[in-house]
Amino acid sequence: MRMPELFGRGEPVFSFEFFLPKTPEDAALLKQTVSDLKRLRPDFVTLTYGAGGSARERTVEMAGILRNELELPTAAHLTCITHSHEEIARLLAQIRSQGIDAIVALRGDLPKDAPVLPLRQRDFKYAADLVRFIRRQDGFSIAVAGYPEKHPECPSPEEDLRHLKEKVEAGADWVITQLFFDNQSYFDFVARARAAGIQVPIVPGIMPVTSFTQLQKFTLMCGASLPPAMVAELDPIQDDKEAVVRYGIEYAARQCRELIEKGAPGIHFYTLNKSRSTATILSRLRAS
């Protein structure tokens, strides 16, 4: 069953996101994490993209391991901000050679340590350009990113929604949202998207908290907000690692339960390459 078809089954679709490991030790740890989570039978997994140098090749190699060695349906992330048409075509061919037919199409972040061409000179200016390019290839299904609290570079939620609609009209099959911690942000985002004519599945992205410091860093980077009550509850326990992990599990479990009960088509877990929190939450959801 191709990934977009999963959303027509009438039951929640659960997926896990892993990030590309940087060292052989990290790669071994990721394989162990994936093995631990495989028993939960995720509908599919995704792997983030390493844009620079050898990271491109390692992305394809690791995605192939997830797909072929660990036997998990896999979607490969692909960013385009630093790539030419020829490079993306070559990467798509390499991804296809691994038996992978699903792409998470992203513009990608501006590189911090490498030059990038001016906007008018890039082959791919926006993620929608990448979606159009992939759609012209045969056989790929495509996910794109959505931002309940808007992309941090976008001047307004209205303009951000226009960009999302353009990606969908270019050929995206489903949307995975940026992380958020107030479910109302997701429900409002979906309502605005539907009013704008976006009808593809919009899957909430959930990140269980495992570190208060890391949480603050991530939310600052991606433009997500932290509910004041959450900050007040985490602040006094932030130095107790086990207490923070337990809190993160309970908070995310409540989020996921409400999202599913109110119609979300599934949950996309940002695992941070760890298994405990995601495994506990998903086991609870399936038992309820």
Residues marked active site are found at 17
Q: Provide the token pair at 135.
A: 């759609």
Whether 203 and 177 have beta carbons less than 8 Å apart is answered as yes
DSSP 65: I
- The 3-state DSSP class for residue 105 equals strand
Helix axes 241-261, 183-195, angle to 10 degrees: 30
DSSP 67: I
CA-to-CA distance for 231 and 228, rounded, in angstroms? 5
* Three-class secondary structure assignment of 120-180: HHCCCCCHHHHHHHHHCCCCCEEEEEECCCCCCCCCCHHHHHHHHHHHHHHCCCEEEEEEC
Closest CA to 99 of 80, 71, 77: 71
Q: Quote the distance between the C-alpha of residue 264 and its chain's center.
A: 16
d(CA 53, CA 212): 32
